[in-house]
Amino acid sequence: MNKFAIAIHGGAGTILPSLMTPEKEQAYRGALTNAINAGMALLKVGANAEEAVEAAVMSLEDFPLFNAGCGAVFTHQGTHQMDASIMEGKNLTAGAVSGISRIKNPIQLARAIKEKSGHVYLSGEEAEAFASTCGFRFEPNEYFYSEERYQQWLAVKDTDSYQLDHADKLEQGEKKFGTVGAVALDVHGNLAAATSTGGMTNKRYGRIGDTPIIGAGTYANNQTCAISCTGHGEFFIRAVVAYDISCLIEYKGLSLAEACKFVVNDKLVKMGGEGGLVAIDKFGNISLPFNSEGMYRAWSYADGLVQTAIYKD
Ligand code: ASP
């Protein structure tokens, strides 16, 4: 039994050592470590799991190489539309938001929706109107601009295809889902999960993936586990991935590792859904399954030792 623990991801996909520079790898590992430390600093002093996953995801949203917050990809219209959700396992309360373009840390807005709106899920301009009633500051477009993301979008903007994060390198084999997420168990025995994304490059028609959908991209239940997903959202929605894993534990008595393996490496693979997730159960066991080449991930138990990984081990 682990007293408390946290695990995070910065997206899964075709992440290959051959496509990485040592500098970039160091930057990714540093960002993952910072996010774990942000969550652990709270867990160590008895904060609840929800505060820890929010802090970890905010740290990831502030790192431009991940597809969330300041690193969000461009839509077909050349804008940014971000999605996020958060859930507490203690009382099954949740907050979610989609299609927002001006909030620095969408995960904070998801939490505010959970706590103050009386609803679970708000979207678009009206969600931003709610944000302003809560005192959120709006960022200008430039805050979400990065040359790399802009070039990715330019390469596909005149086509009908929507693409995964880092799609500009698809010809060379790189394909990455850069969504970020965190799961945690606190000293009080509470579980929580949080996920945040910019979605897919060149997405249009208000496309929304699994990230803000409770049960698909995010789920937490103190009786079972907490899950945050990354991958091809359409498949994760159809497979109801996060809730499915919780149900396999609750109704079928599977262990966390068995449930994760079945859903990610069997069910999703048969459907053609690429991606992965981070999961933690009520005993503090951590699972980090993915069916792609790699997944940016990191974890720590109560001993405070931070471990990071990117490729298949
Ligand atoms: N799951 C996200 C989506 O479909 C993408 C990702 O994981 O990067 O919007």
Whether 188 shows a pLDDT value over 70: the answer reads yes
List all residues 6 or more positions away from 290 whose beta carbon is below 8 Å from its beta carbon.
Answer: 12, 231, 264, 275, 276, 277
pLDDT for residue 174: 53
pLDDT for residue 187: 98
Q: Report CA(176)–ligand 1 centroid distance (Å).
A: 9
CA distance 287 to 258: 9
Cα within 13 Å of Cα(36), Cβ side: 27
Structural domains of the chain sorted by starting position, each given as residue range(s) with its CATH number in brackets: 5-74+146-311 (3.60.20.30)
Question: CA separation (Å) from 130 to 62, 225, 275, 285?
Answer: 22, 30, 32, 37
Residue 227 sits at φ, ψ, to 5 deg, of: -135, 135
13 lines ligand 1 (CB under 6 A): no
- In this structure, the number of other CB atoms found within 10 A of the CB of residue 233 comes to 28
Whether 167 shows a pLDDT value over 80: the answer reads no
Share of the chain above pLDDT 90, in %: 78
**pLDDT-derived band at 168, boundaries 50, 70, 90:** very low
pLDDT digits (tens, 9 = 90+) for 195-247: 999 988 888 888 999 999 999 999 999 999 999 999 999 999 999 999 999 99
The mean pLDDT of 138-159, rounded to a whole number, is 83
- In this structure, the number of other CB atoms found within 10 A of the CB of residue 262 comes to 17
pLDDT for residue 163: 58
pLDDT for residue 166: 41
Question: CA separation (Å) from 290 to 13, 31, 69, 142, 311?
Answer: 9, 20, 23, 33, 10
Q: Is 179 tagged catalytic?
A: yes
Annotated catalytic residue, options 14, 21, 93, 179: 179
- Could you tell me the sign of the dihedral formed by the alpha carbons of 15, 21, 24, 25, in that order? positive
Question: Closest ligand 1 atom to the C-alpha of 236?
Answer: 1
199 lines ligand 1 (CB under 6 A): yes
pLDDT for residue 117: 98
Which position has the token pair 């840390």? 105
Which position has the token pair 């805050």? 143
75 lines ligand 1 (CB under 6 A): no
pLDDT digits (tens, 9 = 90+) for 32-86: 999 999 999 999 999 999 999 999 999 999 999 999 999 888 888 888 899 999 9
Identity of the residue numbered 233: G
231 lines ligand 1 (CB under 6 A): yes
Taken as a whole, the chain contains a residue count of 313
Structure tokens, 68: 């969330």
Q: Report CA(310)–ligand 1 centroid distance (Å).
A: 17
Question: Closest ligand 1 atom to the C-alpha of 199?
Answer: 9
DSSP string, 92-145: TEEEEEEEE-SBS-HHHHHHHIIIIISSSEEEHHHHHHHHHHTTPPBPPGGGG-
**Residue 141 or 238, more confident:** 238
**pLDDT-derived band at 286, boundaries 50, 70, 90:** very high
Question: CA separation (Å) from 29 to 152, 154, 310?
Answer: 23, 28, 8
